[in-house]
């Protein structure tokens, strides 16, 4: 059956659906949007009728998206972002010049600390009208790519090549290959005999086979919150760790970094964005700077031959 204009969701309906998901309830969404609860409820019911699916499970504790609702919310965020981009792109076409507008970036911790700063510095110098907003997201589960797919970010710095495929509708590009190394307190005679300190984001699918083949690696004796905590514990003599190069950038003199040999595992770091945002001026400007990193952007732990675009 052909769709009619009455079956299309208007931008204000999309905003209400997103607000309910973000706030966890109809009352909270109404407060955030300056509407009445009845207006929010009426709008959501209308959206559900148009879509032909229940978007939220209602309960005493609030409203939670159903599987259909999760899809609808993700696309609603992306459509609303495209409406913003539409205005900026049209203005840019009418008045050519540096890119302008907000740019939402998500990255895992070590990339945010050691890869992005020089890139953003050059981006702002060449495009002062771009407003980067960076969030750090743990690279577990759907990680940064999931944030982009859900419409919560425009670009994600992510790990590529793992067993978990990218969500549909995303495009990706490689930036660098970072090797793993053994890190331990400086001066220890037999670092492989030390207990293992690890964190949840480490040893993803890209290193699992190598990790499993190493009979000298014990089960982790200490599970830390992130790679920064791991490095601090190793520095304090509490064990050894196997870490990727970005996590070892700026490592203190109290630790020693030992190469793992020619068969060492590596992690491929890249970026992801949506297919519809890939051609926008702000995303293209960021990708250009990411791809044209100077050698000074590559942390020393990567080595001169390991960081490659």
DSSP string for 86-118: HHHHHHHHHS-SS--EEEEEEE-HHHHHHTHHH
- Specify the range with the lowest mean pLDDT, choosing from 12-26, 72-86, 116-130, 203-217: 203-217
Q: For residue 298, is pLDDT > 60?
A: no
227-248 burial, b at 16+ Cβ within 10 Å, e below that, comes to: beebbebbbeebbbbbbbbbbb
Average pLDDT over residues 136-151: 93
Q: For residue 262, is pLDDT > 60?
A: yes
Tokens linked to 17? 């659906």
pTM above 0.75, yes or no: yes
Average pLDDT over residues 191-198: 94
Q: For residue 309, is pLDDT > 50?
A: no
Q: For residue 303, is pLDDT > 80?
A: no
Q: For residue 308, is pLDDT > 90?
A: no
CB distance 217 to 176 below 8 Å: no
Based on its alpha-carbon atoms, the radius of gyration of the chain, rounded to whole angstroms, reads: 23
pLDDT above 70: percentage of residues in the chain: 91
DSSP β-bridge partners for residue 258: 182
> What is the structure's pLDDT at 91?
82
């Amino acid at each position: 059956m052909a769709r009619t204009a009455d079956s299309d969701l208007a931008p204000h309906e999309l905003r209400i659906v997103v607000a309910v998901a973000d706030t966890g309830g109809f009352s909270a969404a109404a407060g955030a949007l300056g509407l009445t609860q009845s207006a929010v409820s009426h709008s959501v019911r209308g959206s559900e009728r148009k879509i032909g699916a229940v978007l939220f499970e209602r309960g005493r504790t609030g409203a939670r998206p159903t599987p259909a609702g999760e899809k609808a919310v993700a696309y609603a965020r992306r459509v609303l972002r495209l409406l913003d981009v539409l205005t900026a792109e049209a203005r840019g076409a009418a008045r050519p010049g540096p890119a302008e507008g907000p740019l939402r970036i998500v990255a895992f911790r070590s990339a945010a600390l050691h890869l992005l700063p020089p890139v953003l510095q050059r981006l702002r110098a060449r495009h002062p009208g771009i407003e980067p907003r960076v969030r750090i997201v743990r690279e577990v589960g759907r990680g940064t790519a999931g944030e982009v797919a859900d419409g919560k970010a425009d670009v994600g710095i992510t790990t590529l090549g793992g067993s978990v495929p990218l969500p549909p509708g995303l495009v990706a590009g490689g930036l660098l290959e970072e090797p793993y190394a053994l890190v331990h307190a400086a001066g220890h005679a037999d670092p492989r005999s030390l207990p293992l300190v690890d964190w949840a984001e480490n040893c993803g699918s890209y290193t699992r086979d190598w990790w499993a083949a190493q009979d000298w690696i014990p089960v982790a004796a200490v599970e830390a919150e992130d790679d920064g905590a791991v490095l601090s514990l190793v520095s304090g003599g509490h064990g050894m760790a196997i870490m990727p190069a970005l996590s070892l950038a700026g490592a203190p003199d109290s630790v020693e970094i030992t190469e793992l040999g020619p068969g060492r595992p590596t992690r491929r770091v890249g970026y992801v964005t949506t297919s519809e945002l890939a051609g926008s001026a702000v995303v293209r400007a960021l990708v250009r700077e990411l791809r044209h990193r100077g050698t000074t952007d590559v942390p020393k732990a990567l080595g001169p031959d390991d960081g490659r675009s």
